[in-house]
Homo-oligomer: A and B are copies of this chain.
């Protein structure tokens, strides 16, 4: 019989597509096998288990997101960099909801260390270099930005801001304005 040409790489990539189509939590080894028209057990030569597949998708998503962010940041600073960076997250979540969910998947410490998580933190710090913050305020600000971006995107994706005025896009713009103002004027107690 003709072989399907499975590899871990291809499986993870297809898993990511599947996630975008049906949701990350609906990604299943069985569904993936169906997609390749192959028996379920065959996938276990390439994947340790179901968790392994999900971890793979999460790592892929974090990588892609970091790549896009790095691109967006090139040649920008200040508010410009802040907006571009934030938009990368929001756009990615809208284009690839399943992958975005995956990026929020709780990784075990080993996987987390090997992930692009560090790049994300570094880039956030790079943006803050356009503002006059010193430690520990810079770290507080990193955490604030992470919270706002993740929080907004996840509420928006969950449908929180649809069906009500004003438009979500407008809130997003004004929130970025507000964050810029805040960072330029970070309060000292």
A17 to B25, CA, bound (A): 22
B152–A147 CB distance below 8 A: yes
A160 to B117, CA, bound (A): 10
- Sample of 23 A–B contacts (CB below 8 Å): A104-B158, A106-B158, A136-B166, A139-B166, A140-B166, A140-B171, A140-B175, A143-B155, A143-B171, A144-B148, A147-B148, A147-B151, A147-B152, A147-B155, A147-B175, A148-B148, A148-B151, A149-B151, A150-B154, A151-B154, A174-B189, A177-B187, A180-B187
Chain A interface helix/strand/loop/mixed: helix
A165 within 8 A of B: yes
* Least CB distance, A51 to chain B, in whole angstroms: 12
A146 within 8 A of B: yes
* Least CB distance, A122 to chain B, in whole angstroms: 13
Q: How large is the interface on A (under 10, 10 to 19, 20 to 34, 35 or more residues)?
A: 35 or more
Within the oligomer, what is the number of copies of this chain? 2
A140 to B169, CA, bound (A): 10
* Least CB distance, A114 to chain B, in whole angstroms: 16
Residues of B within 8 A of A161 (CB): 143
A92 within 8 A of B: no
- Which residue of the partner chain, among B136, B150, B175, contacts A155 with CB atoms under 8 Å? B150
